[in-house]
Structure 1
Amino acid sequence: MIRLAVIGTNWITNQFIEAALKTGEYQLAGVYSRSLESAEQFSQPYAQPQLFTDLSELAQAPDIDAVYIASPNSFHGPQAIQMMQAGKHVIVEKPMASNFDLAKQMFEVAAEHNVLLFEAFMSAHIPNFKRLKQELSEIGKVRKALITYCQYSSRYPKYLAGENPNTFNPAFANGSIMDIGFYCLSSAVELFGEPNSVNAQAQLLNSGVDGSGSVILGYDGFEVVLQHSKTSDSYLPSEIQGEEGALMVEMISTAKKLTKFNRGDKVGLDISVKQDTNPMFYEALEFAHQFKQKKSCEKCTQRSLIVAKLLEEIRRQTGVVFPTDKKFSTK
């Protein structure tokens, strides 16, 4: 049984806890919040976990095995490093770091202290996404792909009203590509590997982060177009086109539905497989597997590093700068 603590008391933390407990591999052993009142309120539905308002106390707690970090993006790296230096295994929400240098440092600390560092990119572990990957060989040579995730942010009206929510604040290493755009980018890397070229454009908000954007990833013989937005909605599925057919995915982050078209078909075949209603269930299972094996997934590590490097390049091309870039960059 993995004795789990969480940093962050928000809806995504709740969703991960529910998924972890559902696997039967975890027990919730600790909750951290800067506010004791917030920690108490968050932990009420659970079986009396320890409450922490001091990260150092959490890091040194002897009866915590792993820590799930779902704080704002800019805190992911420093908090993960603090936990790993104290011997804790870490599951860190995506994106794992504000920039590439920090991501490399995090994996170096994990290796130095012989602990697991797991980026919580749930899509790669979801059954329909795995089925998508398997079916790529069935549609012939890939020639084009569109991976899209555009969703009007519930916090965008607050931004328009003059407030400064974390979602659109560079101080928290946020913005469209770092949030929902991450799913598009990381999915492309998971499916096709590291691209040969990257060309990015974005529509920047006055705060300095991107509200939306597009990226073209160049591969041998084909290109992948990424479309992401937090200021508008899209109702299009993602699509991968091959010479012998195409695959369509509804909601790339959770792969809700997978449809296959053979060349010439007017109607596609639903090839979806049954999935748990909580899409985080499968990443929780994967981390539990690595915990039991006492071995991290090298392929996952390489994907995380490639994505961190690409995110930094996309931001460089689009002019999105975070305060943490100066703090952690070694260039």
Structure 2
Amino acid sequence: MKKIRFAVIGTSVITKKFLEAASLCSQFEFAAVYSRNAEKGRAFVQNMGNIRVYDSLEDLACSRDIDAVYIASPTCCHASQSILMLENGKHVLCEKPVASNFREWRNMRKVSGENKVILLEAMRPVFNPGFQIIKKNLAKLGQIRKVNFNYCQYSSRYDKFKNGIIENAFRPELSNGALMDIGVYPVEVMAGLFGKPKHIAAHGYIIPGSIDGMGSITATYEGMQADLVYSKISDSHLPCEIQGEKGTMYFNSITGLEDIRIRYRNGYEEKYSADTNQHDMIYEVEGFIDMIAGKRLAKEYNDISSISLEILDQARELIGIVFPADASC
């Protein structure tokens, strides 16, 4: 298979991490970067070789030298930028959350299908080898009754916020906030493992004059309940767990799915190692390239994104989080 010529939209830290991981894929070729500021774009690719710099999204979309685009712009831009690229025959790998709301995502999937190109959310955990280990061994737990997933990580940007410096992570007009930035991780892992819940309840704390800083979601399934806790204004060091009638599965990180263990009711414990690459974004890149080549289907992962966005929409409504992007819903 020929190399896939990638452009990236965005010059943030996550884009740099993406490029570090993607460079390990033999079929990946970094070809171009888009930035609203061409000078900033040139600085980003300095010493990276002959990388084209675009300051026009339309010019990038029309380029015949680009096969796929990785989008790492603010969430409020994901739908419009993805649709422009998809309409011009570009495959799109878009950072999480893939859209501001389910309506935007539905339109994105429609355009992807109409133009016969791949659209995929860059959600690390569901591509991580640890996710398959968890999924494969769930049956050992017997009837699953209780799930506790948490992702609470104090943000350095919160310190800046308290000092009057408001960065993107705390701007509701960009479709950001704790739920969208990090709550999405436990939501998507839950959706990937257990599907769509029958009912959800949600609570959150809105930082005065800003966006949500923390919250929780309780999802009800047939015979099972999942509690998801997330925060950008406090830390948690508790493991995640899946409780069954025969035993309980533990793992340390909802993003890395590390140190997976099952402790049975008789005290016996099993340990699993995923041997994960330190550049764990490599797995979503490999999956995306395989989908372009027709070796894998995007539908399974797109269905997880659909369930996730429906849950996020419901949770935001219950908590009272409204984005400008919701206006036309």
TM-score category of the 2 structures, normalised to the smaller one: over 0.9
Amino acid at match of 1:281: I
> What is residue 83 of structure 2 aligned with on the other side?
81
- Alignment match, 1:97: 99
Q: Note closer, same or farther for the CA distance 1:15–1:45 as it changes in structure 2 (3 Å cut).
A: farther
Partner of 2:272: 271
Contiguous gaps of at least 5 residues in structure 1: none
Q: Check the 8 A contact 1:141/1:244 in 2, yes or no.
A: yes
Matched, 1:122 2:118: no
**Shift in Å at residue 295 of structure 1?**
6.4
Report the 3-state secondary structure (helix = DSSP H, G, I; strand = E; otherwise coil) of the residue aligned with 1:217. Answer: strand
Q: Secondary structure at the match of 2:322?
A: coil
**1:281: Cα distance to partner?**
0.8
1:146 correspondence with 2:153: no
Q: Who is 1:320 aligned against? A: 321
The alpha-carbon deviation at position 19 of structure 1 amounts to 1.3
Q: Distance in 2 between matches of 1:203 and 1:87?
A: 41
User: What secondary structure is seen at the aligned counterpart in 1 of 2:161?
Assistant: helix
Q: Determine the structure 2 residue equivalent to 1:132.
A: 134
**How many pairs does the alignment contain?**
327
What residue in structure 2 maps to residue 192 of structure 1?
Answer: 194
SS in 1 for 2:180: coil
How far has the Cα of 1:46 moved from its partner? 2.0
**Residue in structure 1 matched with residue 288 of structure 2 by the alignment:** 287
8 Å Cα contact 1:169-1:207 kept in structure 2:
no
Within the candidate set 218, 223, 226, 2:225 is matched to 223
315 and 289 in structure 1: CA distance in 2 versus 1, 3 angstrom threshold: same
1:1-331 → structure 2 map (5 Å cutoff): 1-265=3-267, 268-293=269-294, 296-327=297-328, 329=329
TM-score (norm: length of structure 2): 0.97
Structure-2 separation of matches of 1:209 and 1:80 = 25
CA distance in 2, matches of 1:309, 1:287: 23
SS in 2 for 1:241: strand
Please give the per-residue CA displacement for 1:187-242, whole angstroms capped at 9, x wherever unaligned: 00001000000000001112342100010000000100000000000001100001
Identity of aligned residues (%): 38
Provide the rounded CA distance (Å) in 2 between the counterparts of 1:145 and 1:310. 16
- For structure 2, the residue ranges without an aligned partner over 5 or more in a row are none
Change (3 A) 1:243 1:107: same
- In structure 2, the residue corresponding to 1:22 is in which secondary structure? coil
Q: How far did residue 103 of structure 1 move?
A: 0.6
Q: One-letter code of the match for 1:193?
A: G
DSSP 3-state at the match of 1:285: helix
User: SS at the partner of 1:155?
Assistant: helix
Instruction: Determine the C-alpha separation between the residues in 2 that align with 1:48 and 1:246.
Output: 52
SS of match in other structure, 1:67: strand
2:326 alignment partner, SS class: helix
SS of equivalent residue, structure 2 residue 225: strand
Q: Does the C-alpha gap of structure 1 residues 257 and 207 become closer, same or farther in structure 2, counting only changes over 3 Å?
A: farther
Q: Secondary structure at the match of 1:143?
A: strand
| 1:273 positional shift | 2.2
Query: Contact 1:74–1:171 (CA<8 Å) still a contact in 2?
Result: yes
User: Tell me, what secondary structure is at the counterpart of 2:156?
Assistant: coil
Q: Deviation digits for residues 286-325 of structure 1, max 9, x if unmatched?
A: 0011011176421111111111111111000000000110
- Tell me how far 1:163 sits from its aligned partner: 2.4
Q: Which string of whole-angstrom CA distances, capped at 9 and with x for unpartnered residues, describes residues 52-93 of structure 1?
A: 111111001101000000001111111001111111110000
Aligned 8 A contact 1:208 1:321 in 2: no
**Which amino acid is the alignment partner of residue 97 of structure 1?**
A
Q: CA deviation at 1:17?
A: 1.2
State whether residues 116 and 296 of structure 1, in contact with CA within 8 Å, keep that contact through their aligned partners in structure 2: no
CA distance in 2, matches of 1:8, 1:294: 28
- Report runs of 4+ in structure 1 exceeding 4 Å deviation: none
Q: Tell me the SS of whatever aligns to 1:178.
A: helix
- Post-superposition shift, 1:47? 2.4
Deviations 1:132-161 (A, max 9, x none): 111101111101010100000110011111
Distance 1:156 1:186 in 2: 24
For the residue of structure 1 that corresponds to 2:178, the secondary structure is coil
TM-score, with length taken from structure 1 = 0.96
